[in-house]
Amino acid sequence: MSKITCQCGHENPFGTVLCERCGRPQTEEAKKSKLIDMRYEGSARRSQTYKRSIIDKIWNFFSSVKIGVSIIIAVLATSAIGTLFPQKLFVPASTEVDILAYYEKHYGFAGTLYYKLGFYDMYNSWWFITLVGMLGISIIIASIDRVVPLYKSLKKQRTKRHVSFMRRQRIYGLGTVEDADDSMVKAEEKLKALRYNVKTEDGAILAERGRFSRWGPYVNHTGLIIFLLGVLLRGLPGFYVDEPLWLREGETRAIPGAPGYYLQNNQFILETYSKEEDAEFSQAIDRVGTIVSNYQSDVTLYKEAEGGLPGQTEQLEFVKDYSIIVNKPLNFDGFNVFQMDYQLDELKSMTFQLTEKASDTSLGEFTVDLINPEPIYRLGEGTYVELKDFFPDYEGVVDGEPKSRSPIPNNPAFIFKMVTPVKPDGEMSFVAIRETFETELNDYKATFVSAETRNATGLVIRKDKTLYILLLGGIIFMIGVAQGSYWNHRRIWIQKGEGDELVLAGHTNKNWFGLKKDLDTVKDFAKLPLYEDRQDAESSSDEVKGDNS
């Protein structure tokens, strides 16, 4: 696009509102306005200039403040929806079917809809991450679209400006003084005393202070972009881990989120306060019963041997033994394993006896491992029991079929097929705790004999490489907030006119009272002409203290 040539001869980029050299208005709208918008110094912004190509349209879309606010509202709304019901991480289920059943049972139709719409894993969903990414893109483009032309304009600003520029400032004054040269010298002296950066050029003064405050919002945006980058990095493997791990006594399992590492639960210890040894808790013990004083997991950490196949637990290298106590996690390779929960007396196995009903004769016993049950249990002499189906946490019959609430063996139920030489085709029996159902009258039955229990510890594995990124973003964000909130950019122009005539103008991005206070001090000291605040009718020259007499 062609450049705009000002009357002063300077060539300005297309879209410029105020000439970069003299400050003359370059657009019809600016020429008709009484006050000019100094937010971006009248510089040409890309989003207001180029609108032809698809890149221009994308740029203009994301540079819009309205679009940015809309994206922020969308992120806040979806974040709020994600807090209505527990997220997937806090649901005591591992399979999608069990997770759906949990929401349906506890929250009814609303819970089912919540699951089917994908809100149950809100913060890991592709569309939530897309929204966060769009917010980051909007902040980046909107900042670049504004900060680059603003920086160039402030860097190139001239000391002497055209009278049309001065006349369109909110603070403006014009008048004759006794000695213009003396007033200019005194004004320069006083402005320097007020800690302004003063430049002089051909009978003109530009006094400026606090320019760095103009960069506050963009420093703010930089911190926010870094923070959002940290949030997005959490979705990449290896940057963020927050995984639960239930580990039973004697069990060794791979640590989720930590490839190549395994954890063995040697023993879970639960300690309680006693009335005899801890007298200060006696009343509380009488009131609520047992009070836990400590619970910990004695574990052994292993890692895969070099050259070993992934998942091969036969060849593991010992790393260390450790007792995981609340607030004293196991630390290794950037990971932390916290003690979070426990479950006492979880069923480990159940022993049954196969009996002939008529004679009450036992044909043998078999033990079912409730974690890894075997398909067939042989009792000898052609007699065996086949496990046809297993329901670890039986909750009843739904639509004619038994259902399990979760994979944890809280209330196990079994469907056995009992085969004997007398009954080679076998007999079917549904066996649960205190319940036995038969499809037809059987000659044999499986009766409960005993159960073995063990404790389980609830651990949480955490690793966060983004923590320092989030912290850095937060610190930079707050620096930008302070920079833009507690300081302001003030400028005062004083120029000589004809004879002893002086023209003065002033602008600030906020705190006009402070600017006028400084200007009053300089005016009284240097005998400058009266000025007026053109936006505030009450703050006119009639209210300015003192005059030139």
Assign 368 to helix, strand or coil: strand
- 392 pLDDT exceeds 80? yes
Q: What is the pLDDT of residue 543?
A: 45
Q: What is the pLDDT of residue 165?
A: 92
- 542 pLDDT exceeds 60? no
Q: What is the pLDDT of residue 49?
A: 76
Cα 325 to Cα 207, 283, 459: the distances in Å are 64, 26, 10
Q: What is the pLDDT of residue 354?
A: 93
**pLDDT digits over 464-514, tens only?**
999 999 999 999 999 999 999 999 999 999 999 888 899 999 999 999 999
- Residues 66-93 as b/e (b if ≥16 CB within 10 A, e otherwise) read ebbeebeeebeebeeebeebbebeebbb
- 541 pLDDT exceeds 60? no
- Average pLDDT (338-354) is 91
CA separation for the pair 299, 255 (Å, rounded): 12
Q: What is the pLDDT of residue 312?
A: 63
Band of residue 310 on the pLDDT scale cut at 50, 70, 90: low
Q: Residues, the chain, total?
A: 549
Share of the chain above pLDDT 90, in %: 55
- 131 pLDDT exceeds 60? yes
Nearest to 532 by CA among 171, 274, 53, 221: 171
**pLDDT digits over 141-190, tens only?**
999 999 998 998 898 889 999 999 999 999 999 999 999 999 999 999 99
10 vs 210, more confident: 210
141 vs 41, more confident: 141
- 54 pLDDT exceeds 80? yes
Domain ranges of the chain: 45-154, 158-210+488-533, 241-464
For 96-164, the three-class secondary structure string (H helix, E strand, C coil) is: HHHHHHHHHHHHHHHHHHHHHCCHHHHHHCHHHHHHHHHHHHHHHHHHHHHHHHHHHHHHHCCCCCCHH
- Average pLDDT (233-254) is 88
Assign 492 to helix, strand or coil: strand
- 548 pLDDT exceeds 60? no
Out of 3.55.40.20, 3.30.310.50, 3.40.630.30, 3.20.20.150, the CATH code matching 158-210+488-533 is 3.30.310.50
Spell out the long-range contacts of 519-526 with Cβ–Cβ below 8 A and sequence spacing 24 or more: 519/171, 519/492, 520/544, 520/545, 520/546, 521/190, 521/194, 522/187, 522/190, 522/191, 522/194, 522/492, 525/186, 525/187, 525/190, 526/183, 526/184, 526/186, 526/187, 526/190
Assign 287 to helix, strand or coil: helix
**pLDDT digits over 91-109, tens only?**
877 678 878 888 888 889 9
- 313 pLDDT exceeds 70? no
Q: What is the pLDDT of residue 94?
A: 67
Write out the two tokens for 181.
């040269």
Q: What is the pLDDT of residue 500?
A: 87
- 527 pLDDT exceeds 80? yes
Q: What is the pLDDT of residue 45?
A: 83
**pLDDT digits over 413-452, tens only?**
999 999 999 999 999 999 988 888 887 889 999 999 999 9
Q: Provide the whole-model pTM.
A: 0.71
Cβ contact 288:246 at 8 Å: no
pLDDT averaged over the chain? 88
